[in-house]
Amino acid sequence: MATFLLEVGTEELPARFVDTALEQWRSRIPQSLAEHHLPTTAIKVYGTPRRLAVIIEGLPQRQSDQAAEFKGPAVQAAFKDGKPTKAATGFARSRQARVEDLEIRTTDKGEFVFLRQTIPGRPTGESFNGTSSVLDSGH
């Protein structure tokens, strides 16, 4: 667990803007961290007309692994005479899995193939690359 400090120097902000900026940080930063599976122990925000800062305590070095489930094609499209079709092999390949890893389940819309996977957590510093976030530079 790490402590992260982000300090943003600003031109002279009108004092009434500081409270609005801090309220946005108080709501958006925890939300963004949660969306990226990064729990913390405390988030504190501070501000003056020339500086905004956030201290995030207990930030993990990497995201936790996430269990994910993916719904594939209907069984009648995925298998013919007990053998996988292009639909099944394509679905498995798209998820970098083997056809043997597919499960058949009955849903209210019929039988479908499903795949369960564990998505490994990424290092915290890489967790925001390519995403729009209040923690990205430029926001």
* Structure tokens belonging to residue 12: 């002279």
* Structure tokens belonging to residue 7: 């300090």
Query: For residue range 61-115, what is the model confidence (pLDDT) as tens digits?
Result: 999 899 999 999 999 999 999 899 999 999 999 999 999 999 999 999 999 999 9
Whole-prediction pTM: 0.65
Cα atoms in the 13 Å half-sphere on the side-chain side of 114 = 10
The residues pairing with 111 across neighbouring beta strands, listed in sequence order, are 106
The phi and psi torsions of 107 (rounded to 5 degrees) equal -120, 180
Our CA angle for 93, 98, 99, nearest 5°, is 95
